[in-house]
């Protein structure tokens, strides 16, 4: 009996301390509304745990996949398309490839549509999130907050930019179809498009005709490096739903 009483005496303070310091985690859910399979890639910052082993297949109409991330987590999600992997997880993707493997250890190769997060570091601290086309576009994508407070707007790109991509930005697949739309930076590698060198500030790197095409089609997505004002979203205490090929 003495041993049992001593055990509970030591455990209870630790238990209640945990309750007092507990901070809610954030649930991020991925769902595929495309007519074809996509292979989501995940990349965590801040040395955070790898979600979904870095990448997996998500077939049309399959159940959503959810991940719990802790306060302070940051990272990105994207869709890979046209992938073919062997049983060992080696292969390649037509867009968004991350080094020829199913389970990504790095980011997706441009052009690729991205969802980016920085989750608040504690209770009441804002989350920051966005959909970015700075690295180009491969599929429609959106991120919708759920249950939070604050501005909490849905961000995304619903339009099919591949169908209206200028010829000089088109990435064409093996079958001759346009599979992605490059950013002007990737296509031309000039400072005025990449916001580098003499164009490395917001004042010296304004929107271009190419970034305006992206912005007109997808007003709530980043269209180039300094497109912060209309593209960075905030919310507090929310969960999030990422949809590939969201409905118009």
What six digits make up the tokens of 63?
Answer: 């159940």
Q: Kindly report the pTM of this predicted structure.
A: 0.88
pLDDT of residue 23: 55
What mean pLDDT comes out for the span 203-223? Answer: 95
| pLDDT higher than 60, residue 14 | no
What six digits make up the tokens of 16?
Answer: 């209640």
What six digits make up the tokens of 105?
Answer: 């250890």
Q: Which residue has the tokens 């060992």?
A: 88
Q: Which residue has the higher pLDDT, 22 or 211?
A: 211
Choose among 42, 143, 34: nearest CA to 81. 34
pLDDT of residue 18: 38
| pLDDT higher than 80, residue 2 | no
Cβ neighbours of residue 4 under 8 Å, at least 6 residues apart? none
Rounded distance, CA 73 to CA 78, Å?
Answer: 17
What mean pLDDT comes out for the span 190-204? Answer: 96
CATH class assigned to 25-160+219-244: mainly beta
Rounded distance, CA 9 to CA 79, Å?
Answer: 51
pLDDT of residue 6: 35
Cα angle 42, 43, 47; round to 5: 140
What backbone torsions phi and psi does residue 49 show, to the nearest 5 degrees?
-65, 145
What is the residue extent of each domain of the chain?
25-160+219-244
For residue 187, what pLDDT band results from cuts at 50, 70 and 90?
very high
Choose among 108, 80, 105: nearest CA to 94. 80
Summarize pLDDT for 30-64 with one digit per residue, the tens. Answer: 999 999 999 999 999 988 888 999 999 999 989 99
| pLDDT higher than 60, residue 230 | yes
What mean pLDDT comes out for the span 80-94? Answer: 97
Q: Which residue has the higher pLDDT, 20 or 187?
A: 187
Rounded distance, CA 191 to CA 197, Å?
Answer: 6
Summarize pLDDT for 129-154 with one digit per residue, the tens. Answer: 999 999 999 999 999 999 999 989 99
- Rg of the chain (C-alpha set): 21
Q: What is the mean pLDDT of the chain?
A: 89
Cβ neighbours of residue 3 under 8 Å, at least 6 residues apart? none
């Amino acid at each position: 009996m003495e041993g049992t009483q001593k055990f509970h005496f030591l455990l209870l303070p630790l238990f209640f301390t945990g309750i007092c310091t507990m901070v809610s985690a954030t649930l991020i859910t991925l769902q595929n509304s495309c007519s074809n399979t996509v292979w989501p890639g995940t990349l965590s910052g801040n040395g955070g745990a790898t979600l979904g082993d870095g990448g997996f297949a998500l077939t049309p109409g399959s159940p959503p996949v959810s991940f719990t991330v802790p306060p302070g987590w940051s990272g990105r999600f994207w869709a890979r398309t046209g992938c073919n992997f062997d049983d060992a997880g080696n292969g390649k993707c037509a867009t968004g490839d991350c080094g020829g493997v199913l389970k990504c250890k790095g980011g997706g190769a441009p052009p690729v549509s991205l969802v980016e997060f920085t989750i608040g570091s504690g209770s009441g601290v804002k989350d920051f999130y966005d959909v970015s086309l700075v690295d180009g576009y491969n599929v429609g994508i959106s991120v919708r907050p759920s249950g939070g407070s604050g501005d909490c707007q849905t961000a995304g790109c619903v339009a099919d930019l591949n169908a209206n991509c200028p010829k000089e930005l088109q990435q064409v697949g093996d079958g001759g179809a346009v599979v992605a739309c490059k950013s002007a930076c990737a296509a031309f590698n000039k400072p005025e498009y990449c916001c580098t060198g003499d164009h490395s500030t917001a004042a010296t790197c304004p929107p271009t005709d190419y970034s305006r095409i992206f912005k007109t089609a997808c007003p709530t997505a980043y269209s180039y490096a300094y497109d912060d004002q209309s593209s960075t979203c905030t919310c507090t205490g929310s969960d999030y739903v990422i949809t590939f090929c969201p409905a118009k």
